[in-house]
Amino acid sequence: MPEGDTVYRTAKHLHEALAGRPLTVSDFRVPKFASVDLVGEIVEGVVARGKHLLTRVGDHSIHTHLKMEGTWHIYRHGTRWRRPAYQARIVLENADWVTVGFELGVVELVERDREDEVVGHLGPDLLGPDWDPDEAVRRLAADGSREIDVALLDQRNLAGLGNVYANELCFLRGMLPQRPVGEVRDLPGVVTLAHRLITTNRDRVERTTTGDLRPGRQTWVYGRDGRPCLRCGTRIRRGSMGASELTQRVTYWCPVCQS
């Protein structure tokens, strides 16, 4: 699933292509909204809220979520799409650009004054203008028995972190992902580091938490199971966490550097 930095960049590029221009095509390829026609409406802007996207058009907002496989593409008119048309869930065009949302996990239309119904449950947005670290700490600390990895991934605590960042944060803070939140020594420090990591990566496609962009060295533990820890040389381990098969995530850690 894309992390908040990916969604932030997606919103930025869509905003540049769509904002301030009237739509010439509005094609919702999901049954519930197939008859919606926003042609002629001016796009006010596109914003990210955690991992959610809100495209504000007239009195409505188009709410989309990439989930695991989704992506937005932006094309010049006449350019061949890089993915098959049957994967398109929504197409928005203006006189200059064609924007296509492929395999989006969520596509829905809500009234502008009802946006909270789709994103109001989210915690403080790590990349939002209203980022509130104290509130993020308060929400994380509310359940001290919960594993820190699971708590970091809960978008109701802080919005934007995905599995990569949660695993890397646990390594960088020297804590096992299974450690209960109540036993984390410096929760504000975890939140501060989360904000710094995702902010550092928000404007670049090549994400790194190590500061190294070379293949195989961009992360400390994520995706490196069975390989030597970049810090101590111990083999990275892999497991899964979550309350059920539907919520389980793959977890990586170094058994020596984390405790």
Q: What's the number of CA atoms in the CB half-sphere (13 Å) around residue 165? A: 31
Active site residue 249: yes
Which residue in 235, 237, 238, 249 is the catalytic one? 249
Which residue in 51, 89, 173, 224 is the catalytic one? 51
Tokens 């308060």 sit at which residue? Answer: 138
Compute the radius of gyration of the chain from its Cα atoms: 20
- Side chain identity, residue 105: G
Which residue in 3, 93, 115, 168 is the catalytic one? 3
- Distance CA(55)–CA(23), nearest Å, equals 12
Tokens describing residue 7? 């969604």
- Distance CA(194)–CA(200), nearest Å, equals 10
Which residue in 2, 9, 49, 139 is the catalytic one? 2
Q: End-to-end CA distance of the chain, in Å? A: 27
Give the catalytic positions in this structure: 2-3, 51, 249
